[in-house]
Chains A and B, each alone.
Chain A
Amino acid sequence: LPAPDVLQTFTEGAAQRMVDAVQPYYDAVDQYGSGSLQAQVAQSIARRDLERAVYTNHVAAARLGSAGGSLTAEAKAALSDIIGTDTYYVERFADELPDLSLGQALVRANLYVSTQRNTITDITTLELPTLPVYPKDDSLICTWHCKCNLRVSFLFGKGNYDVYWDLDPAGREHCPDCIRLASTWRPLQIRSGQIVGQKMLRAHDRKILKAALERLAA
């Protein structure tokens, strides 16, 4: 995965692009009124811009996920699926803009950014075998609110990886599932394409992790 500062830069850039797509509609509403023709046109433009922002942000995230390498055909196919899903929802978001306040719209637009950030992990883990669980998985307590990342170490030889479950460093609290996964996938070992096990944390490691989390929360 990219370094934390790169992740941060990407997240801010992606969020700004989503805001830029939504803001002009509300400017038009303020100027001409919500039922005006100008507002309708602005909504249509916002819809197009949101779709484009989602599309480009995902492609950029995939580019980060491929760590500088070119996108494989497999990655592009997966990317189309991801973008297709997000576009479905963003179109509905655009349709509902007249019912939302500016604040509501900005919060909702920001929700898409974490999905886009997740694409980095999705593309990075593409060549791995299916893992038992992924960030944002429905089976986690935090479900799609999850902001954790998978950190993958590509080891020597084909199909050898170490996968770490990294808690979001900016998060103030984490769900018990993610904490458990972060403490057990240290790392999740994949050898020759098969999950072979995991190293469990010892007691003192656990204490260190807990102290670190408390420091983060403070």
Chain B
Amino acid sequence: MATTRSHLQRRAAMSRLKQASPQQLDRVIADSVQSRAHEINGAFFGVGAPGLNRLLFYRQKTDLDIPPYGYGGRATALRRVFRLVGADVIASAIAVLIQKVQATAYVIEGPERTVRQAQQMIDLADLGKGWLQYVAKWVLDYCTQDNGAFTEILGPGKALRRNGQVVRNLDGTPVVDVAQPLAARALSFAHIDSIACERTGVYELPVRYYDINGSMHLLNNTRVHWVADMPQADERLFGYGFCGLSRCLSMVQYAVNWATARNESLDNMPPLSIMALENINKEVFEKQMLAYEGERQAVEETVLRSLLTLVQQDPTKPIGVKLTPVRQLWESFDEESAFRLIVNTVAMAFGLDPQDLAPLTSQAMGSGMQSTVLEDKARGKGHGTILTQLEEFMRGALPASCSFGFDFQDDQQDELRARIRESKINGIVKLAQPLVQRLPNVQDPLADLTASSPIEAIINRDEAKQLLMLEIPEYADVLDPSRTLRDQVVVDDMDPTLVEMQMKMYGPRARYHSKSRQTVILGSERFQKKTAKRVVVDPVTDADVQEAEQWLTDLGIDLTKLRPEQQEAALASA
């Protein structure tokens, strides 16, 4: 049996749906045989960073040692690994994605009031830090955590109660019970640390959040949004994903080890190696080491090591020190190829274009044309997918009458639009130009210059301006700052398809109604649409009408004087 959801939850679900209704969603959930459609599948140990594998422990031996998929500690290790020295390409790839998303402008459309509300929500994002901070953290979690990115949707709700008492903040305000649904529209949203969240698999309370003190909070469906990259099909994983960083872990290890080896070769310390000593016995070596340690203690050297001096014992047998480095590059190792391999693999994992990470060099193919083509393709890859995910979330979080979208720079489309506008402007300007009739004047050729006979233009200057405003509404405020010309435009003189225009003016709701106009009088149909909740009442009888008439008469309303003609007749007779 599907869970019964409150009105607001339905609204929340509705905003995520595009065509279907919440009732249909309920029906679909109820009809599903799958355990994830029903509440009973709530796992005691949820799926996610803290819990997926609380019982599966993996002991990490080095910084680069990442627990396998499904083992505890993997999330923390993933967060650590891209910050290691040497993981430059991977860290840069994540930074590139973050910067790309931050640099993409967004557009909100809707009624003025709701757009203002939406803008306020976004200003307050991430507890007042703003949109840029929010998306930076969101993209970071989305790219580097298998658990995905989590967002808390903030808004009023029932107060939290413990032992019947309302729990209050220090300032006396009641603490909101996040396990209860939002009681009104959301005020804002904030990023939640993905590592602190785990998936419960319960529809109503899908996420468990562990705060810094370790307290557990169950988050209501209406108060949290979560999304993972490459969600797994395994039903028991509740949509746990496989992030971009996980997809290129071997490259992280490769890059870090390579950088370490390179640095060890270049710095002034011996590399990690096996040391073989020749012509010095163990006792003498240990004595010299003791002296060396004594010197270190004398100068209070505890961390770094000064030079170790070995003194030759037998003049005939020179001391030999042979270092065999543990890290070695293979013979055919080529730095350029290694770098390219890392760049390509990382770009592939994050859905980026390799050129975003490192410009194409050497080959002639790295041309401007190729860059353009790759840019066009990018929308369907990592960056585009991230923007689509964010758009989906924002559409659900913002007021329903608003639309949220990212403003992609589509140069081709802009150019096409500009060309169409140019030809429209030229056409209107031609109509407004006076037509000069040049008749040869034989007697006085100079007269042509002074007294050419202009024929009036087809339209005057004001009409041209009106036409320009109709074609290009963005010009209206420039062409007609006082709004005088605009106010003179009568709609029914402009366009024969006025019914369509009416629909455009009042949005899809009106459109929806007008398309179903098989019957001219749609009154009762209109009411039936509005009356999803109603009871069947007795039909209105003549007795009911008479009773109502009597009541109106008692109130002093004379029904015979309501129609204008009746009023006129009454006046005439009087």
Contact = CB atoms under 8 A, between A and B. Distances in A.
A203 B15 CA distance: 39
Given A130-B517, A200-B489, A59 B548 contact: yes
A59 B544 CA distance: 7
Contacts of B523: 74-75, 78, 122, 125-127
Contacts of A78: 523-524, 527
A203 B563 CA distance: 33
16 contacts: A2-B557, A59-B545, A60-B551, A62-B548, A63-B545, A78-B527, A84-B534, A84-B537, A85-B527, A126-B523, A127-B521, A130-B526, A132-B510, A132-B513, A132-B514, A200-B490
A138 B509 contact: yes
B535 A88 contact: yes
Contacts of A71: 540, 545
Contacts of A132: 502-503, 505-506, 510, 513-514
A interface bracket (residues with beta carbon within 8 Å of B): 35 or more
Contacts of A100: none
Nearest to A191: B492
Interface string B446-469: 000000000000000000000000
B556 to A, nearest CB: 6
Interface in A48-64: 55-56, 59-60, 62-64
B interface bracket (residues with beta carbon within 8 Å of A): 35 or more
A6 B113 contact: no
Of B488, B490, B506, the most chain A CB neighbours within 10 A belong to: B506
Contacts of B540: 59, 62, 71, 76, 79-80, 83
Contacts of A70: 545
Interface string B550-574: 0110011101111100100000000
Contacts of A138: 509
A194 B490 contact: no
A60 B111 CA distance: 36
Contact of B534 (A87, A137, A141): A87
A132 B489 CA distance: 21
Given A127-B521, A199-B490, A55 B537 contact: yes
B560 to A, nearest CB: 6
A68 interface: yes
A96 interface: no
Contacts of A129: 517, 520-522
Nearest to A89: B533
B557 A64 contact: yes
Interface string A190-218: 00011111111111001000000000000
A77 to B, nearest CB: 5
Given A82-B527, A88-B535, A126-B521, A198 B544 contact: no
A85 B492 contact: no
A131 to B, nearest CB: 8
B491 A198 contact: yes
B549 interface: yes
A194 B552 CA distance: 34
B158 to A, nearest CB: 16
B484 A63 contact: no
B112 A176 contact: yes
B537 A63 contact: no
A196 B530 CA distance: 26
A133 B526 CA distance: 11
A60 B552 contact: yes
Contact of A81 (B502, B517, B527): B527
A87 B533 CA distance: 10
B534 A68 contact: no
Counting from the closest, the 3 A-B pairs by CB-CB distance are A197-B492, A84-B534, A126-B523
Interface string A113-126: 00000000010011
A124 to B, nearest CB: 10
Given A60-B548, A126-B521, A9 B534 contact: no
Of A56, A59, A79, the most chain B CB neighbours within 10 A belong to: A59
Interface in B23-38: none
Contacts of B549: 60, 63
B531 interface: yes
Nearest to B524: A78
Of B483, B490, B535, B563, the most chain A CB neighbours within 10 A belong to: B535
B230 interface: no
B474 interface: no
A44 interface: no
Given A201-B487, A202-B488, 16 more contacts: A6-B557, A64-B562, A68-B563, A74-B521, A74-B524, A85-B527, A85-B533, A85-B534, A126-B524, A128-B521, A130-B517, A130-B526, A132-B503, A132-B505, A133-B510, A141-B111
A87 B535 contact: yes
B504 to A, nearest CB: 10
Given A74-B523, A129-B522, A203-B484, A13 B492 contact: no
A177 interface: yes
Given A9-B557, A129-B520, A141-B113, A81 B534 contact: yes
